[in-house]
Amino acid sequence: MATKGDKAVLAPQAQRLYADGYSLSSIAGQLGVSLTSLARWKAETLTPGQTMDEWDRARSQKRGNIQRLRDLFEDQLAYLENQHASERTAPMMDTLSKVGALLERWDKMEKAQRVADDVVREVKKAGLTDETVNVIRSQILGISA
């Protein structure tokens, strides 16, 4: 478990992981911080009068960026499909390919995270230690803290 005073280092890491779509329980396991501490750190970022704390805002913004990237890909693909083959240039195709690769990588990361969270839940039910869970996450699933 984290020790007192680690918040300054761990809270920003936890917020980034949360924005990437990790659950609080997954972050707790990765960083060795109690779920209660994470929930408190998250709640402390809520500005009075606001409905979303900074962590939720960061997550929403990141998801919004991914959706904009998906929209850009679809628009570019539709544009190229309407062009005659002779009008399509290598840079146009390269851009489409790169955006598509980014989206594919993002989808794989999200799927891997869902699988990792499921595995962590199951091994914790089986009574394995947090250390063993972290070994499984990093060595077997390839997801590091």
32's torsion region: left (phi>0), alpha (psi -120 to 50) or beta? left
Under the banding of pLDDT at 50, 70 and 90, the label for residue 108 is: confident
CA dist 116 → 30, 124, 138, 142 (Å): 11, 12, 10, 9
Per-residue pLDDT band at 106 (split at 50, 70, 90) = confident
Does residue 2 belong to any structural domain of this protein? no
92 lies in a domain?
yes
* pLDDT at site 9: 87
Residues 48-55, mean pLDDT to the nearest whole number: 91
Q: Examine residue 126 and state whether it is found in any structural domain, yes or no.
A: yes
Number of domains in the chain: 1
Query: Could you tell me if residue 145 is inside a domain?
Result: no
Instruction: Provide the 3-class DSSP secondary structure of residue 39.
Output: helix
- More confident: 23 or 3: 23
The domain in which residue 99 lies consists of 7-140
In a domain, 114, yes or no: yes
1: in domain:
no
